Amino acid sequence: MKSYRKELWFDTRSRREFINITPQVEECLKESGIREGIVLCNAMHITASVFINDDESGLHNDFEVWLEKLAPEKPYSQYRHNGFEDNADAHLKRSVMGREVVVAVTEGKLDFGPWERIFYGEFDGKRRKRVLVKIIGE
């Protein structure tokens, strides 16, 4: 069995952002040389997500509006976590959107359903953060 590990780095300009990281993950898969196996892709920070959905800007706006209803960023004082920090909403949004995704690898390709793409979801940005890509198989 082969094993491959890589960290992808992100430094978003805004507090919240969704980034399609499918091309980077495909690049990792190519580099790994693995043809049959599994890709695990997870955010390495507790205020960011990795999730799979449609690459459609209307939907991404819907996610933003929906998440703001569930866990509004402001007022910061509404959260007990916001003593020294102001990112309680980001922790909550991250929990809703998930930590990681697992994708099957078949014949050297990500074995997606129709319209599935991998996204990095940032909820407390403007700093450097990592995503782990781990691929196992042969």
Residues of this chain that bind Zn ion (CB under 5 A): 85, 87
Nearest CB to Zn ion, comparing residues 32 and 87 = 87
Tokens 């205020």 found at: 47
52 has which bridge partners? 118
Query: How far is the CA of 134 from the CAs of 42, 101, 120, 128, in angstroms?
Result: 9, 11, 15, 20
Tell me how far, at minimum, the Cβ of 15 lies from Zn ion, in Å.
13
d(C-alpha 126, C-alpha 132), whole Å: 19
Tell me how far, at minimum, the Cβ of 41 lies from Zn ion, in Å.
23
Tell me how far, at minimum, the Cβ of 86 lies from Zn ion, in Å.
8
Are 93 and 86 spatial neighbours (Cβ–Cβ below 8 Å)?
Answer: no
Nearest CB to Zn ion, comparing residues 49 and 87 = 87
d(C-alpha 64, C-alpha 49), whole Å: 13
Tell me how far, at minimum, the Cβ of 66 lies from Zn ion, in Å.
21
Nearest CB to Zn ion, comparing residues 58 and 74 = 74
Nearest CB to Zn ion, comparing residues 39 and 97 = 97
Are 49 and 121 spatial neighbours (Cβ–Cβ below 8 Å)?
Answer: yes
